[in-house]
Chain A
Amino acid sequence: MQIHSKTGWYWLFLLPFIGTLWPPLFASYRPTLAGFPFMYWYLILWIFLVAILSGIIYFIDTH
């Protein structure tokens, strides 16, 4: 079976690269959340975002 991925959507995958590999965006202590300094909860948030993003792109790819 030939598959036809909608590869245009793959550009969205640039977002986690920009979001997590540009430290000026997140290298700060405040605001804290539940005791976690910003840098830490921000990066944890991105773990969820990248999973959700991959899930969405998988859905677009297969429908």
Chain B
Amino acid sequence: MYWSAFIVFLILFVLVTVLGFYAARWHHGDMDLIEEWGLAGRRFGTFVTWFLLGGDLYTAYTFIAVPALVYGAGAFGFFAVPYTIVVFPIMYIVMPRLWRVSKQRNYVTAADFVRGRFDSSLLALAVAVTGILATMPYIALQLTGIQAVLTAMGLSGHGLMKDLPLIIAFVILAAYTYTSGLRAPALTAILKDLLIYVTVIVACIAIPMQLGGYGHIFHVAAAALPAKKGSLILSPKLFSAFATLALGSAFALLLYPHAVTGSLGAKSGRTIQRNAALLPLYSLALTFIALLGYMAIAAGIHTTDTNLVVPLLFLKTLPTWFAGFAFGAIAIGALVPAAIMAIAAANLFTRNIYREYFAAKTGRNREAQVAKIVGMIVIIGALFFIVVIPLQYAIYFQTLGGIWILQTVPAIMFGLYTRWFHRWALLLGWLVGMVVGTGMAAAESFKTSLYPLHFGHSVILAYAGIWAIIANIVVTVVLSLIFNGMRVSNGQDDTAAEDYTTEPVEGAAAR
């Protein structure tokens, strides 16, 4: 048991709890409205949005899983770098349009937009269910980040005692998410990222100094990786897998409900665009976090539980109290996105399932009340997921989640630009994409998201999500041609062309 590490960790955890509850008073708003609870009144400026989206997109799971992949596979794990580079141009172009139309029409979720645009509650349901299904295992995986640092600090019991620290952490999380809504992760994200940046800067200077510099670290990794069937430089047979995984992940990332919620919480489309230029700083941090995988190899860390690679490296190379500081950063890095994800899933459930199918005349107060309760249920559900079901299943589900989310690209992203696609074609295209993607992952026993497709004598190894979205788009285009040709009704568009380009006047007081 590393007591000094644990005490620092505990102090940080108490601090974040206080901030989480205090957040309810921040930028005072009527918490009985879903737009206040679930989007913080769409009032966050560039600074807060930067932390919120950063806390959202770079999670504790990322900090644990990316170096773990690099530790085991080498260069392939660095697909995360192009992934988090190309995501920003997509964000710059697409997300402000979604923000503007949502502001004009009071949409809270991407499924709200799809419903208004295509006049199809069924297509909206497909988008909402996809979002919720993909988010649940993602929240569960955040827990593994906390679990990893607790295990490394020597905090391991048996039976209920083993899970008790996790249960306490998540009950506190559920409570302040209930009272503070999106304000809680926004405020705690600021603390989280300050801790993360300090950790990354210290680790990436201090550890290489001990290990003989980056050049030496790369040399040792290059020599050690072939034994693990990895390589320091990407091998040509992985080129297509590397590129498609990066591209598909980038498109999927922005359509995850928590990314949509984080974006819609901004106060203008321009705020999102400014962030597209400023967020790459996180990609830089992520690159150095990925390099921790090589540092672990050079430091002689040997473990079969690759989730422990980073915690063990910190304990071996940094002062114990500072390792505790870093562990606090990782744990808080799990709580921030978990809260945003729970809120996003709650918004989806309330707006696109509950209101649509169970209580059409729900008043706005009732809507917020339902969302708060669902948010709690989602967090408790994720906790249940991780305590009861083997971790491996959460990872499988998360892999599938990315493939699934990608299938909502035509309805949401294409829908922001054109209504040429037919609503029934979009729905059937989505269905084909879901089946193809899931089928390919199942064929690989869910162990990888890569699938080798045979074309005559050649084989192309690529991200299953990309194969699925190709099938999805082909079906959507062909059926749109047919349905539009047969003049099948495509419903009423609830949005107008100028909704996508109307920006609030800069500097105007927040609503």
User: A-side interface residues toward B, CB under 8 Å?
Assistant: 1-5, 10, 13, 16-17, 20-24, 27-29, 32, 34-37, 39-40, 43-44, 46-48, 50-51, 53-55, 57-58, 61-62
Nearest CB on B from A41, distance (A): 10
Chain A, Cβ-Cβ closest to B87: A50
Q: Which residues of B contact A (CB under 8 A)?
A: 75, 78, 81-82, 85-86, 88-89, 92-93, 213-218, 232-236, 238-239, 242-243, 246-247, 269-270, 273-274, 276-278, 280-281, 283-284, 287, 291, 498, 501-505
Query: Are A50 and B88 in contact, CB atoms less than 8 angstroms apart?
Result: yes
Q: Are B503 and A44 in contact, CB atoms less than 8 angstroms apart? A: no
Alpha-carbon distance A27/B242, docked complex (angstroms): 11
* 10 CB-based A-B contacts, threshold 8 Å: A2-B502, A3-B269, A13-B93, A29-B233, A35-B216, A47-B85, A47-B283, A48-B280, A51-B278, A54-B92
**Is B218 a contact partner of A58 (Cβ separation < 8 A)?**
no
- If over half of B's interface residues share one DSSP class (helix, strand or loop), that class is named, otherwise mixed; here it is helix
New A-B contacts (8) at CB < 8 Å, excluding given A39-B75, A54-B273? A3-B501, A16-B89, A21-B247, A23-B243, A27-B75, A36-B215, A48-B280, A51-B278
Do A37 and B239 form a contact, CB below 8 Å, given A1-B504, A47-B81?
no
Complex contacts, A46 vs chain B, CB 8 Å: 81-82, 85
- Contact call B233/A39, Cβ cutoff below 8 A: yes
The residues of A that contact B215 with a CB separation of less than 8 Å are: 32, 34-36
Among A36, A40, A55, which residue has the most Cβ atoms of chain B within 10 A? A40
The residue that B78 contacts in the complex, of A1, A34, A43, A53, with Cβ under 8 A, is A43
Complex formed: what's the CA distance from A27 to B233 in Å? 6
Nearest chain A residue, comparing its CB with the CB of B247? A21
- Establish whether residues B273 and A58, one from each chain, have CB atoms under 8 Å apart when the complex forms: yes
List B contacts of A5 (CB < 8 A).
501
Option from B234, B238, B239, B281 in Cβ contact (under 8 Å) with A51: B281
A23 → chain B, closest Cβ, in Å? 4
Tell me, in angstroms, the Cα distance from A1 to B234 when the chains sit together: 48
Instruction: Pick from B86, B216, B280 the residue with the most CB of A within 10 Å.
Output: B280
Number of cross-chain contacts by CB at 8 Å: 121
Nearest CB of B to A38, in Å:
8
**B85, A13: Cβ atoms under 8 Å?**
no
Measured between beta carbons, the chain A residues less than 8 angstroms from B284 are: 44, 47
| Cα of A53 to Cα of B287 in the assembled complex, Å | 19
A35 touches B86 (CB 8 A): no
Question: For the complex, what is the distance from the CA of A47 to the CA of B286, rounded to whole Å?
Answer: 11
Contact B232 A10 (CB under 8 A): no
- What is the bound-complex CA distance between A57 and B273, given in angstroms? 9
A22 to B85, CA, bound (A): 13
Docked CA distance A36–B238 (Å)? 21
5 nearest A-B residue pairs (beta carbon): A35-B215, A20-B82, A54-B277, A13-B89, A35-B214
CA distance A34 to B216 in the complex (A): 11
Q: Which residues of B contact A58 (CB under 8 A)?
A: 92, 273-274, 276-277
Selected contact of B239 from candidates A1, A24, A28, CB within 8 Å: A24
B residues less than 8 Å from A54 (CB atoms)? 88-89, 92, 273, 276-277, 280
Q: Are B78 and A27 in contact (CB under 8 A)?
A: no
The reply to whether A36 and B504 contact each other, CB–CB distance below 8 Å, is: no
Contacts of B502 in A (CB 8 A): 1-3
Alpha-carbon distance A49/B507, docked complex (angstroms):
29
Does the CB pair B501–A2 fall under 8 Å?
Answer: yes
Which of A51, A57, A58 neighbours the largest number of chain B CB atoms within 10 Å of its CB? A51
Q: Identify which of A16, A22, A44 contacts B243 (C-beta below 8 A).
A: A22
How near does chain B come to A20, taking the closest CB pair, in angstroms? 4
Known: A2-B501, A62-B270. A23 touches B234 (CB 8 A): yes
In the complex, are the beta carbons of A34 and B214 less than 8 A apart?
yes
Bound complex: CA A51 to CA B498 (Å):
29
Give the chain B neighbours of A10 by CB distance below 8 A.
Answer: 93
Cα-based distance from A37 to B82 in the complex (angstroms): 16
Chain A residues lying within 8 Å of B269, measured Cβ to Cβ, are 3
Instruction: Please determine whether B92 and A47 come into contact, CB atoms closer than 8 angstroms.
Output: no
B219 to chain A, nearest CB (A): 9
Indicate whether A35 sits within 8 Å of B213 (C-beta atoms), given known contacts A13-B89, A21-B246, A50-B89. Answer: yes
| Distance, CA A21 to CA B246, complexed state (A) | 8
Chain B residues within 8 Å of A61, by CB:
273
Shortest CB-to-CB span from B156 to chain A, Å, is: 36
B78 in contact with A20 (CB, 8 Å): no
In angstroms, Cα B270 to Cα A16, docked, is 21
When the two chains form their complex, are residues B233 and A57 in contact, meaning their CB atoms are under 8 A apart? no
